[in-house]
């Protein structure tokens, strides 16, 4: 929430946050802010300079919100006065950042993003170097319970090899170890340029002040004495890593270009695109979206660490192909995007084709292997007038996907006609969606998911519908592509989740609990406030979070493994379950299950269609179910249309079935689950 004064800086901050998928609510008065805070717990409250006289009232309202929310609600205060008394008032009001204006825009934005990322960023990575295995396990256990990612090394001679593979953010090290003590190892680590600034904390029972001084003199940052209380260890590590991340973010804000790869920070390039779109209409330049084709087998063969090192080479190769004025950044696990400035659409297509051919002729190195990688490229020009950064990137990404599915895999240029509906009513349907969000005009249908093994638990999938002019009923599959192009998917996702939780709470109060499967777009996992928002809705409605299952498409999740795994962990912490739909038995999908904590898998409709009755496909399904069951995951079969299909699925070991054979979707939550088992 931003209590804003409509200044140029305020507008730039709001635009940057929205570009990075942070929803921003602009407010004009303190009373309006206090009213919002009675209903919602935002990730951050920003107070512009003209409102600092109301700091006490704002601080009181914020204390109430923080007391009822498990997530930290950050407070950032802007001021033009350097007075100490004002700083004290801000601190007493609970301010996390006190920013004296004027100040460089990028520094202000970096500080805000630093605070926003504090609760949503990746877990802290800590390397523990300790020859005593029991001591190492003790430290690992404490830090892991605090949500950190740890790796223990018992042999100090192997520590340097672990650095590059694990890429720690802090090293926790014993002082006395055989073959190479902590002081010697610290000296070796500090000789490596990449680890000059990494925090190194010694954990030892040494009481000799001189030894402690020697440890700090060679590059140690802190000294903790054994035995140490768990909360003190957690606090020491957390504070060091948080400061290291803050320093890195500020450095990146000043110099967003990686000096090794030549790639730019993703947020920086997104901001540059937004700046260009906010100016005068452009007919030159645009965005290239680059998908690496067929690299999933490489990931499986090389392993994640070697695969990441290979992608770093790919990023450097892309950056080398660009002119001095153009920018490139990594987008997802296996994708990149490029900002080209002063080129016509024809010139961009020509450049994309030359880049594609350069990939075909280049060999990347991984260990002793030489590897060829193919690139599929989609182009979206500024001249298409797509409106905002999200729509531009989505268009380029979809066009790259079209290139990948084509026979010759040539670079393709996005044209408005590519995404128009059959009826040519994109604009009309977009306005219909906007109106439905504003006036709650969507409809929800429910289709039961019945157990083949008995048990009688009530569960339904929630299906989105919208009735248009003339009574035409649009399905979710027809609505979501249009909503995606208009940047409305997250609004729809939140609307459906909110209504589903209302239903869960109402049935819970009536003594008829049920579980609801709710589909969400892959863009939801990039919503930095989704977890805190969802927790707020769950708490407000007093709904049982364990009765909510968020359903993500497996093909989407595979393309963003890290983000999906982090999102799944966030949902697990709330008690919400995850279902991966459209699951095919590929190595990449099975590997996904190793990283994403899913409770349900919904198999591909291929297994319940006509081909699903053949012995070959049925055997394939049995093997799939066996592997999935080994992970403790339950299996759902969708689109079951007849008794023959249901009976065949029962023999393969499927847990649940869904489809018109069970019951067509309707607005009623009525079904006899106790009598549903075959």
Q: Which residues of 420-441 are buried (b: 16+ CB within 10 A; e: fewer)?
A: eeeeebbeebbebbeebbeeee
Residue 639 to residue 611: CA distance in whole angstroms: 13
Regarding whether 476 and 592 lie in a shared domain, the answer is: yes
78, 2 contact by CB (below 8 A): no
Do 33 and 143 reside in the same domain of the chain? no
Nearest to 452 by CA among 659, 663, 670, 649: 649
Region 417-421: what's the mean pLDDT? 37
Where residue 68 falls among pLDDT bands split at 50, 70, 90?
Answer: confident
List, for residues 252-262, the tens digit of each pLDDT value: 656 678 777 88
pLDDT in tens, 476-487: 888 888 888 888
| 441 or 251: which leads in pLDDT | 441
Q: Do the domain assignments include residue 378?
A: yes
The mean pLDDT of the chain is 85
From 227, 252, 277, give the residue that closes a domain. 252
pLDDT at 333 over 50: yes
Q: What is the DSSP letter of 371?
A: E
Does residue 263 lie in a domain region? Answer: no
* Residue recorded with tokens 């649940």: 656
Of 387 and 380, more confident: 380
CA proximity to 591, closest of 557, 626, 552: 557
Under DSSP, the state recorded for 522 is G
Yes or no: say if 642 and 476 are a contact pair by the CB < 8 Å rule. no
Listed as own residue / partner, the contacts of 27-30 with beta carbons closer than 8 Å and 24 or more positions apart are 27/1, 27/2, 27/3, 28/3, 28/4, 29/3, 30/3, 30/54, 30/57, 30/58
CA angle 18–564–107, rounded 5-degree value: 35
Which pLDDT band, with edges at 50, 70 and 90, does 11 fall under? confident
Same domain, 349 and 443: no
Token pair 């998911």 is found at: 449
How far apart are the C-alpha atoms of 169 and 559, rounded to whole Å? 26
- Domain total for the chain? 4
User: Which pLDDT score is estimated for 587?
Assistant: 87
pTM over 0.75: no
Q: Which domain holds residue 614?
A: 430-675
Average pLDDT over residues 202-217: 80
| Residues 578, 598 contacting (CB under 8 angstroms) | yes
Query: Mean pLDDT lowest for which of 167-176, 326-335, 412-421, 571-580?
Result: 412-421
Host H or E run for residue 403: helix 389-405
Does position 245 have pLDDT exceeding 60, yes or no?
A: yes
Mean pLDDT calculated for residue range 347-363: 93
* Residue 581 and residue 534 share a domain: yes
Edge-to-edge strand list for the sheet holding 26-27: 26-27, 2-3, 44-47, 74-79, 97-100
Judge if 14 and 106 occupy the same domain: yes
Return the pLDDT at 470: 61
528: CATH: 3.20.20.450
Peptide bond before 364: cis, by omega within 30 degrees of 0? no
Q: At residue 39, does pLDDT exceed 60?
A: yes
Kind and range of the H or E run holding 473:
strand 473-475
- Identify the domain boundary among 92, 117, 142: 117
Whether residue 213 has a cis bond before it, omega within 30° of 0:
no
What band does 102 get if pLDDT is binned at 50, 70 and 90? confident
pLDDT at 26 over 70: yes
With cut-offs at 50, 70 and 90, classify the pLDDT of residue 295.
Answer: confident
pLDDT band at 417 (very low <50, low <70, confident <90, very high): very low
Q: Give me the CATH number covering residue 391.
A: 3.30.70.270
Token digits of residue 37:
């805070």
Q: Are residues 618 and 511 in the same domain?
A: yes
Q: Is residue 521 part of a domain?
A: yes
Measured over the CA atoms of residue 358, residue 359, residue 363 and residue 367, the dihedral's sign is positive
Task: Please report, rounded to a whole number, the percentage of residues in the chain having pLDDT higher than 70.
Answer: 92
Q: Do residues 310 and 435 share a domain?
A: no
Give the confidence band of 421 by pLDDT, cuts at 50, 70, 90.
very low
Last residue of a domain, one of 419, 441, 467: 419
- Let me know whether 201 and 135 are in one domain: yes
Q: 547 and 654: one domain?
A: yes
192 in the same domain as 46: no
- 436 inside domain: yes
Task: State how far the Cα of 537 lies from the Cα of 541, in Å rounded to an integer.
Answer: 6
Reported as a pLDDT band with limits 50, 70 and 90, residue 56 is very high
């Amino acid at each position: 929430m931003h209590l804003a004064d409509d200044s140029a800086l305020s507008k730039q901050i709001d635009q940057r946050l929205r570009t990075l998928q942070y929803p921003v609510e602009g407010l004009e008065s303190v009373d309006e802010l206090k009213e919002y805070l009675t209903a919602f717990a935002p990730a951050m409250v920003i107070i512009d300079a003209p409102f600092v006289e109301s700091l006490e009232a704002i601080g009181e309202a914020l204390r109430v919100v923080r007391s009822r929310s498990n997530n930290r609600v950050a407070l950032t205060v802007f001021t033009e006065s350097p007075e100490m008394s004002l700083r004290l008032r801000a601190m007493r009001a609970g301010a996390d950042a006190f920013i004296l204006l004027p100040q460089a825009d990028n520094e202000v934005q970096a500080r805000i993003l630093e605070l926003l990322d504090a609760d949503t960023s990746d877990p802290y990575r800590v390397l523990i170097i300790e020859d005593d295995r029991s001591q190492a396990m003790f430290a690992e256990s404490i830090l892991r319970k605090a949500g950190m990612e740890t790796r223990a090394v018992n042999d100090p001679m192997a520590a340097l090899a672990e650095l590059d593979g694990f890429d720690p953010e802090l090293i926790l090290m014993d002082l006395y170890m055989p073959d190479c003590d902590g002081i010697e190892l610290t000296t070796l680590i500090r000789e490596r340029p990449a680890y000059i600034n990494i925090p190194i904390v010694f954990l030892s029972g040494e009481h000799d002040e001189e030894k402690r001084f020697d440890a700090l003199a060679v590059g140690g940052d802190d000294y903790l004495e054994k035995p140490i209380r768990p909360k003190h260890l957690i606090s020491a590590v957390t504070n060091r890593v948080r400061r290291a991340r803050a320093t890195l973010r500020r450095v990146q804000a000043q110099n967003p270009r990686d000096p090794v790869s030549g790639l730019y920070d993703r947020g920086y390039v997104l901001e540059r695109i937004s700046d260009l779109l906010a100016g005068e209409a452009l007919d030159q330049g645009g965005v290239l979206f680059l998908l690496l084709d067929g690299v999933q087998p490489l990931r499986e063969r090389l392993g994640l660490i070697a695969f990441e090192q290979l992608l770093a080479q790919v990023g450097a190769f892309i950056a080398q192909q660009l002119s001095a004025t153009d920018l490139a950044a990594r987008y997802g696990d296996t994708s990149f995007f490029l900002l080209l400035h002063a080129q016509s659409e024809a010139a961009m297509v020509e450049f994309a084709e030359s880049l594609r051919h350069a990939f075909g002729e280049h060999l990347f190195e991984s260990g002793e292997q030489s590897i060829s990688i193919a690139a599929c490229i989609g182009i979206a020009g500024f001249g298409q007038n797509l409106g905002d950064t999200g729509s531009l990137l989505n268009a380029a990404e979809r066009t790259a996907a079209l290139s990948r599915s084509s026979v010759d895999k040539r670079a393709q240029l996005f044209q408005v006609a590519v995404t128009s509906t059959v009826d040519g009513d994109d604009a009309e349907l977009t306005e219909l969606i906007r109106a439905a969000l504003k006036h709650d005009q969507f409809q929800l249908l429910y289709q039961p998911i019945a157990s083949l093994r008995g048990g009688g638990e009530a569960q339904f999938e929630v299906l989105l519908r919208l009735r248009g002019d003339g009574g035409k009923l649009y399905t979710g599959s027809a609505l979501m592509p249009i909503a995606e192009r208009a940047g409305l998917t997250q609004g729809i996702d939140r609307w459906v989740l909110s209504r589903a939780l209302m239903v869960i709470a109402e049935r819970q109060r009536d003594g008829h609990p049920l579980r609801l499967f709710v589909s969400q777009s892959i863009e939801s996992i990039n919503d930095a406030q989704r977890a805190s928002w969802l927790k707020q809705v769950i708490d407000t409605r007093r709904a049982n979070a364990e009765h909510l299952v968020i359903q993500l498409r497996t093909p989407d999740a595979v393309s963003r493994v890290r983000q999906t795994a982090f999102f799944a962990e966030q949902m697990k912490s709330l008690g919400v379950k995850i279902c991966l739909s459209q699951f095919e038995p590929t190595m990449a999908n099975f590997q996904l299950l190793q990283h994403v904590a899913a409770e349900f898998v919904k198999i591909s409709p291929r297994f319940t269609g006509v081909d699903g009755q053949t012995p070959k496909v049925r055997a394939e399904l049995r093997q799939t179910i066996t592997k999935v069951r080994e992970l403790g995951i339950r299996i759902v079969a969708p689109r079951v249309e007849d008794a023959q299909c249901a009976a065949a699925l029962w023999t393969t070991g499927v847990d649940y079935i869904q489809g018109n054979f069970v019951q067509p979707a309707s607005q009623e939550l009525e079904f006899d689950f106790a009598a549903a088992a075959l």
